[in-house]
Structure 1
């Protein structure tokens, strides 16, 4: 019998944004893999758990060993198909062994908070990645949604966009702690964002 690896998107953070089918998969799992916060939020005492750490290969080895005899549920933040562990798992396991339960990404939530469609937006991640400077070039009417980190934060990215030719008064939304009670969304401009306190690990939506 083939045992599945079930990759479950747990949404942007708050439990209010996780899908019922995701909760069902998590609650019925015998083996549960996820970040420390996810395990703290969702794991039960009777479940065998393993944290996802910086040692991704160790996590994959655990999943491979356990999925030989039992289904393994892997929790990932946001949506599995958007900058998560799914590419690494696809590289190690055949597609038919994987079952993916989608989730709401922080990018989706950011656009919904400002009531903007995002089907025509250019989406990119600077979270743990060096920017492709050519992709930052200004174009009138262009919308960009960006994942950020500690280094490429709201202040640094605003500077990069100005260097790439974006007008100083370009509107930008900065979404911080999305879905949590202390969520904050600030509407500002690029030039103001360069001088304002930096916001790390946020979502930026830039409206050209």
Structure 2
């Protein structure tokens, strides 16, 4: 499989967030900022005979844009080029083993917290609706003693990792984050 740079160079169109597009040397006429999903679906269907790259970060096959793309167009039309998983990266940064960890996401979905918190360790990609604060509140409701790790802007210069007790997690915006909940 070719490397990411070679794939992007050969692409006729590269779609991604402003931040993702800025990471590569892509001519402006080949760039498109990621639109809403319904617009993206139509655009990709119209471009079916072109070499289009859809940039994704984090864990796009964990309830993310990668899963969505496969559902819409099928594995015969989509090639996934993996990078490092944001959850894997986070576990490495905090020095925790991933053995027996339950992995999930709250992107656009309401997790079953009774099920999640029955696990010793959970790795989770979150969104603006169900983020670190909401997760901490669910832990507190169940009177569990857990450690919560919050990783923001992982692998970027602005990376920030916090290790907190649930009662210490503030109700604020957390940028592009991964949460680890553990009693290990």
Sort the TM-score into its range (normalised by shorter chain): 0.7 to 0.9
Deviation at 1:118, TM superposition (A): 1.5
Partner of 2:167: 191
Deviation at 1:101, TM superposition (A): 0.4
- Rounded Cα–Cα distance in structure 1 between residues aligned with 2:86 and 2:80: 18
Assess if the C-alpha contact under 8 Å between 1:79 and 1:102 holds in 2. Answer: no
Partner of 1:62: 43
Say if 1:48 and 1:182 are closer, same or farther in 2 by CA, change over 3 A: closer
Tell me whether 1:176 sits opposite 2:157 in the alignment: no
Aligned length: 181
Partner of 1:132: 112
- Rounded Cα–Cα distance in structure 1 between residues aligned with 2:156 and 2:91: 16
- Rounded Cα–Cα distance in structure 1 between residues aligned with 2:74 and 2:124: 30
Q: CA RMSD in A?
A: 2.3
TM-score, structure 1 length as denominator? 0.75
- Rounded Cα–Cα distance in structure 1 between residues aligned with 2:134 and 2:60: 27
Long gaps (5+) in structure 1: 1-19
Partner of 1:12: none
Deviation at 1:135, TM superposition (A): 1.9
TM-score, structure 2 length as denominator? 0.84
Deviation at 1:25, TM superposition (A): 0.8
Say if 1:94 and 1:159 are closer, same or farther in 2 by CA, change over 3 A: closer
Deviation at 1:84, TM superposition (A): 2.2
- Rounded Cα–Cα distance in structure 2 between residues aligned with 1:199 and 1:105: 22
Assess if the C-alpha contact under 8 Å between 2:63 and 2:107 holds in 1. Answer: no
Partner of 1:16: none
- The higher radius of gyration belongs to 1
Q: Which has the higher contact order (CA 8 A, sep 6+)?
A: 1
Deviation at 1:148, TM superposition (A): 2.3
Say if 1:100 and 1:65 are closer, same or farther in 2 by CA, change over 3 A: same
Say if 1:147 and 1:78 are closer, same or farther in 2 by CA, change over 3 A: closer
| Residues 1-208 of structure 1 mapped to structure 2, 5 A cutoff | 21-42=3-24, 44-45=26-27, 47-54=29-36, 56-68=37-49, 70-138=50-118, 142-167=120-145, 170-193=146-169, 196=170, 198=172, 200=174, 201-208=176-183
